[in-house]
Structures are given as structure tokens and as C-alpha cells.
């Protein structure tokens, strides 16, 4: 009898295991506590990224979502608008288990110094040093697979495999996955989303409930995201990997009109991040060169700017800088999806169609 129960339990678990495949077309960074991304990829960075994108979608529907880094515990809710029912919290288990498999070790195509991969621009900055960016280990790239195990199928909300599939599809069009996206990593290509109707059945009521309200204006939301893609200028049709860091250097420079101005420095750090005096994550990401259908290589610039900032002016500056050095492939400020009472859920539905790009969706 005990053996029979074990077999039944195993069969129930197997029934709740699903697979979602994707390809990392630029390196995927999932470094461990020692910032090492070699060996088996860690799922924690991917789960954190999936939660970030889920929060972006939910806030975009007009539903407030607390910043998880502020910490929350205590009473929970079965309301599927509460993300702890999906991703858990301090005293509540995440709804699903996720494992990441596949891919190959990827050595960055640059100089390796003291075990680190170093990208260095051939110029000297105002501090008398050459601007450089470092990766402490190899990353992973190529075909990969996310395996989800639904631990609590009785909870409300979308099934984990449906949520993960749709999120990966959205990320493949407008963003990046994992960490170090500001330094080129995380561009993916996916298979078509499985059963997207289930997720839209989840998002549409949220849109009706939230009425598209502006919520948490200083936190990332679909409403304050943007994305653009750019190709090489002139006769050159292949990128050098340093172009990613040239682009980032030029973008930061555009927000450095007066190096000695504290306000200009604060704005630059606010948009592009800093480690000192306290860590601020970059809101602007620039990908490594990539292609998805054997077409010409391009870079993606994407991110978010709070509505409380001088958002329109900052986006105008970012686009102008990129168009100075690269040819524009496409550009979209996702706030356009809210114009004249538009329903962003319909826009997301259009985005998931094969071959669709954000700039082709009005």
C-alpha cells in the first residue's frame, strides 16, 4: 500500500512538471554569491527576473505592487493580484519550483586578466583611466530549458508554465532576462507562448479592476518602460562587442553636461546606476549585438524611467544619442499603449503574434 501511494504521489508530481524552451542569443548571466556564472546556471537570478517582469505587467494594469526588496511578511491573501501567491514571501512557499538546464559555457570575446573578462575602451577619461567593464567568469548561452513544477495547483492565478512561457515571450520582444542586462546580457529567443488565453484571462480582470490607474510611479511598470533597437551605421554590418560599451559610454556622457554638478551626477547615477556611495541599479540596459533570424546584427536599448522624473526629455536624449552613432531599427515608448483609453492587454496579445515587434503595434 505504501509503495502504491508513493507511485501515485510521484505520478501527481510528474503531471505538474512542464518545460519551457528558449535560446539565449546573448550570454545569460546567473552568477552565484561569488558572482560566478560558470557551471550549472542558478535559477535564483531567473526567478528574480521573472518576478520583476510580473510586477511590471501587474502594475501596468493599475494594480499596486509593493517593492519586494522592502520586505513583507505576515497575513497573506489568496487574491491572484497578490504576487506572494505565485512567488511566495518570507513565510510562504513559492507556488512552483523552477530549474534551469542546458546552454553552453560562453567565454566573453575579450582580454582575460587575472581570471576576469575585461572590456576596455581605448580612451582616457577625466580620471586618467580607461573606461572598463568586467565579468568575473564565463556565462552561458544557447538553447536552454526552464522546468516548472507546480507545488500548489489549487492556488488561484495562471499556471506556472503558462506564466513563465508568456513572460519569456514578452521579454524576448521588449527586454532581457537575468542579471547584467545593463552590460549586454539576457537577450532571448522563444518558442510561441503556450495557451496565452489563460494569462489574458488573468490580466484582463486586473485591467478592469485597476482601471489603468497610475500606481507606484517610482517603480517599474509597463507604462514607464521603453525599448529600441539599432543597427550599425555606414557600410559596416557587423558589430564589435565593444560597441555595447561605446553606446553605454555615450549615453552616460549625454547626462554629464557638467562633471562637477552634483545634480547632473545624481541624475546620471539615478539612470545608469552606481556602486558608490550606495548601490543603485541601472534603469537603462544596452544589449550585446545579436540576431534572431540570421538578419543583420543589432543592439537593444531598453529599460524604464519613473513617471516622476523628467521622463520624456530623458527618453528623447537617449534616442538622439543612439541615432547619432547607430541606425534606428525601431523605437517604442510603451506609454503609447495607454493612449486614448487603449487596453494594454490587447497590445500584449498583438505582441505575442509571430513576427510582431513593439514598434509595429500602435
**pLDDT, tens digit, 9 for 90 and up, residues 98-140:** 999 899 989 898 888 888 899 989 888 878 889 999 998 889 9
Q: Residue 323 falls within a domain, yes or no?
A: yes
Q: Residue 8 falls within a domain, yes or no?
A: no
Name the pLDDT band for 6 (thresholds 50, 70, 90).
Answer: very low
State the alpha helices, DSSP H only, in 61-121: 84-87
Per-residue pLDDT at 15: 72
Q: How many CB atoms lie within 10 A of CB 338?
A: 17
Residue 349 has pLDDT above 50, yes or no: yes
Q: Residue 282 falls within a domain, yes or no?
A: yes
Say if residues 230 and 328 touch (Cβ distance below 8 Å). yes
Would strands 17-28 and 188-190 be described as parallel, antiparallel, or unpaired?
antiparallel
Q: What percent of the chain has pLDDT over 70?
A: 84
Per-residue pLDDT at 301: 98
Residue 89 has pLDDT above 90, yes or no: no
Per-residue pLDDT at 39: 53
Structural domain including 191 reads: 13-65+82-360
Q: Residue 6 falls within a domain, yes or no?
A: no
pTM: 0.89
Residue 226 has pLDDT above 70, yes or no: yes
Q: Residue 326 falls within a domain, yes or no?
A: yes
Q: Residue 77 falls within a domain, yes or no?
A: no
Q: Which residue has the higher pLDDT, 317 or 41?
A: 317
Give the Cα separation of 166 and 54 in Å (integer): 10
Domain count, the chain: 1
Q: Residue 2 falls within a domain, yes or no?
A: no
Residue 31 has pLDDT above 70, yes or no: no
Per-residue pLDDT at 73: 41
Residue 236 has pLDDT above 60, yes or no: no
Give the Cα separation of 321 and 154 in Å (integer): 50
What is the chain's Cα-based Rg?
21
State the alpha helices, DSSP H only, in the chain: 2-15, 43-60, 84-87, 160-174, 196-210, 242-254, 262-272, 311-325, 344-351
Per-residue pLDDT at 54: 95
Q: How many CB atoms lie within 10 A of CB 140?
A: 23
CA–CA distance from 332 to each of 50, 79, 225 (Å)? 22, 32, 9
Say if residues 69 and 231 touch (Cβ distance below 8 Å). no
pLDDT tens per residue, range 187-224? 999 977 666 677 778 899 999 988 878 888 899 999 99
Residue (of 199, 194, 154, 198) closest to 53 by Cα position:
199
Q: Residue 75 falls within a domain, yes or no?
A: no
Residue 4 has pLDDT above 70, yes or no: no
Name the pLDDT band for 75 (thresholds 50, 70, 90).
Answer: very low
Amino acid at each position: 500500500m505504501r509503495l502504491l501511494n508513493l507511485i501515485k504521489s510521484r505520478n501527481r508530481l510528474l503531471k505538474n512538471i512542464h518545460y519551457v524552451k528558449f535560446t539565449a542569443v546573448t550570454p545569460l548571466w546567473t552568477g552565484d554569491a561569488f558572482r560566478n556564472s560558470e557551471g550549472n546556471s542558478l535559477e535564483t537570478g531567473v526567478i528574480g527576473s521573472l518576478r520583476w517582469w510580473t510586477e511590471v505587467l501587474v502594475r501596468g494594469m493599475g494594480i499596486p505592487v509593493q517593492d519586494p526588496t522592502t520586505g513583507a511578511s505576515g497575513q497573506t491573501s489568496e487574491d491572484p493580484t497578490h504576487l506572494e501567491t505565485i512567488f511566495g514571501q518570507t513565510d510562504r512557499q513559492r507556488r512552483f519550483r523552477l530549474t534551469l538546464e542546458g546552454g553552453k559555457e560562453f567565454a566573453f570575446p575579450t582580454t582575460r586578466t587575472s581570471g576576469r573578462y575585461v572590456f576596455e575602451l581605448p580612451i582616457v577619461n577625466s580620471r586618467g583611466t580607461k573606461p572598463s567593464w568586467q565579468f568575473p567568469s564565463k556565462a552561458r548561452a544557447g538553447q536552454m530549458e526552464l522546468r516548472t513544477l507546480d507545488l500548489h495547483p489549487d492556488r488561484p492565478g495562471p499556471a506556472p508554465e503558462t506564466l513563465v512561457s508568456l513572460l519569456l515571450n514578452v521579454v524576448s520582444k521588449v527586454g532581457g532576462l537575468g542579471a547584467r542586462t545593463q552590460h549586454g546580457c539576457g537577450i532571448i529567443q522563444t518558442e510561441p507562448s503556450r495557451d496565452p488565453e489563460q494569462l489574458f484571462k488573468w490580466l484582463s480582470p486586473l485591467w478592469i479592476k485597476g482601471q489603468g490607474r497610475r500606481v507606484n510611479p517610482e517603480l517599474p511598470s509597463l507604462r514607464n518602460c521603453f525599448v529600441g533597437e539599432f543597427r550599425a551605421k555606414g557600410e559596416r554590418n557587423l558589430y564589435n562587442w565593444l560597441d555595447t560599451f561605446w553606446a553605454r559610454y555615450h549615453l552616460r556622457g549625454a547626462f554629464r553636461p557638467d562633471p562637477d554638478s552634483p545634480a547632473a551626477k545624481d541624475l546620471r547615477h539615478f539612470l545608469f546606476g552606481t556602486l558608490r556611495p550606495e548601490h543603485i541599479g541601472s534603469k537603462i540596459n544596452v544589449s550585446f549585438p545579436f540576431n534572431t533570424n540570421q538578419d543583420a546584427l543589432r543592439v537593444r536599448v531598453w529599460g524604464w524611467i519613473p513617471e516622476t522624473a523628467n521622463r520624456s526629455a530623458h527618453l528623447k536624449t537617449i534616442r538622439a544619442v543612439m541615432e547619432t552613432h547607430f541606425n534606428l531599427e525601431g523605437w517604442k515608448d510603451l506609454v503609447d499603449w495607454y493612449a486614448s483609453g487603449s487596453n494594454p492587454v490587447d497590445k500584449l496579445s498583438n505582441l505575442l503574434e509571430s513576427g510582431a515587434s513593439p514598434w509595429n503595434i500602435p
